[in-house]
Structure 1
Amino acid sequence: MSGSHVRLEPLTMDHAAGLLEAGADPGIWAWLSSRQPVELGEAEAIVKAALTDPDRRAWAQIDLASGRFAGTTSYYQIVAKHRILSIGHTWIGAGFQRTALNTEAKFLLLRNAFESWGAQRVAWETDARNLRSQRAIERLGALREGLLRAHRIRPDGTSRDTVLYSMTDAEWPGARARLLARLG
């Protein structure tokens, strides 16, 4: 999937070096379920974990202007029978934050989910303390559904509350128009 700012391509082991480089800022990893990789082998382990998870379809986000690896995003919790899936495991390197890259990546994922796969619902989950992520999800047009208490264990062993968001197929046309307007 490709737009004007980003190309989403299936994540492969060939992306590990780019993941290591784009993920060099420790702040990126504050809310993620993986610890920051500091050597190539650790980046390869993160990619391998994504690729071997049967419940996940991981994408590399490639910045079209530079051709560089910018981050990752994924479909996960895919239940074809119910036409539902989640978008997450998303992070973007510091140099690509606050650009159109993430908005366009989410637009491409949503368009594919609703218009190609026929999804009836797309969901997002984020750490209750990650207010920046919550605002970004809300800007997509997703609605906050609630809080899942003690939902996950963070890499540091603490308990995480998770904020749940969703968008339905009935809401997609309005969100689509707003996202296209934002992207210009």
Structure 2
Amino acid sequence: MSAPDFDCQPYLCASTLSLKPLADSDFEGMFQAAADPDIWGGHPARDRYKREVFEAYFASLLATKKALTVIDIASGDIVGTSSYYTPPDLPNSIAIGFTFLVRAKWGGNSNRELKQLMLEHAFTAYDIVYFHIATTNIRSQTATMKLGAVHLYDAELKISAAPALAKCYGLTHAQWKASRG
């Protein structure tokens, strides 16, 4: 099932995080969250913590009109971002990616809560959600499998600036329900 009118920038809220459409006014808070070099350690863009590099990245996210700002409800601080996007090799599908969270949100429930919000929204319109992760990003691969997603294939895909090898995962609605059981 596909949904051409799917809202890629919904307002979503859980117990500790809320999501809203990414806006120009989010830049300073988003950069403050992204300015930690350790966030980008396993990522292909290891220098994204630098302001000039992050500015270009932020502009590209903003231009997609599909990116979300992740906000910690208790503090009101921006703690990351994530996006819906159309997989280049599966044009009638939906994927979740371009996600980062501040290190204070690693290892706890935050990534699962973020993905839960996004998955529940995606499953209102799609039967399967995809994730494309750099082969070097073991932390994200592990987190994605903890959601119940399974590795489907590896492919060279142009998801951002240049084609790159990605591990492609899929999570069906049934797998998601079973992983929460």
- Rate the CA distance shift 1:154–1:29 in 2: closer, same or farther, 3 A: farther
Superposed CA offset, 1:76-106 (max 9, x none): 0179x97620000001112222221111010
- Rate the CA distance shift 1:37–1:131 in 2: closer, same or farther, 3 A: closer
Gaps of 5+ in 1: 179-184
In the alignment of these two chains, the number of paired residues is 168
1:7 aligned onto 2:18: yes
SS of the equivalent of 1:170 reads helix
Superposed CA offset, 1:1-54 (max 9, x none): 000011011111111111111112112223155842433x6544432211212x
Structure 1 equivalent of residue 131 of structure 2: 124
Structure 1 equivalent of residue 34 of structure 2: 23
CA distance in 2, matches of 1:33, 1:153: 13
- Rate the CA distance shift 1:42–1:164 in 2: closer, same or farther, 3 A: closer
Superposed CA offset, 1:84-142 (max 9, x none): 20000001112222221111010000000113xx2021000111121111110000010
Q: 2:113 aligns with which of 104, 108, 114?
A: 104
- Rate the CA distance shift 1:110–1:83 in 2: closer, same or farther, 3 A: farther
CA distance in 1, matches of 2:166, 2:146: 18
Answer 1 or 2: which has greater helix percent.
1
CA distance in 1, matches of 2:47, 2:139: 19
- Rate the CA distance shift 1:154–1:33 in 2: closer, same or farther, 3 A: farther
TM-score (norm 2): 0.80
SS of the equivalent of 1:171 reads helix
Matches of residues 173-184 of structure 1 in structure 2 within 5 Å?
173-175=177-179, 177-178=180-181
1:93 aligned onto 2:102: yes
- Rate the CA distance shift 1:154–1:84 in 2: closer, same or farther, 3 A: closer
SS of the equivalent of 2:118 reads helix
CA distance in 1, matches of 2:115, 2:138: 18
Superposed CA offset, 1:47-66 (max 9, x none): 2211212xx61011101121
The CA RMSD measured in Å over matched residues stands at 2.8
Conserved 8 A contact 2:47-2:53: no
CA distance in 2, matches of 1:15, 1:32: 24
Structure 2 equivalent of residue 136 of structure 1: 143
Structure 1 equivalent of residue 123 of structure 2: 114
Gaps of 5+ in 2: 1-11
Structure 2 equivalent of residue 161 of structure 1: 165
SS of the equivalent of 2:123 reads helix
- Offset at 1:146? 1.7
- Rate the CA distance shift 1:153–1:69 in 2: closer, same or farther, 3 A: closer
Structure 2 equivalent of residue 181 of structure 1: none
- Offset at 1:172? 3.3
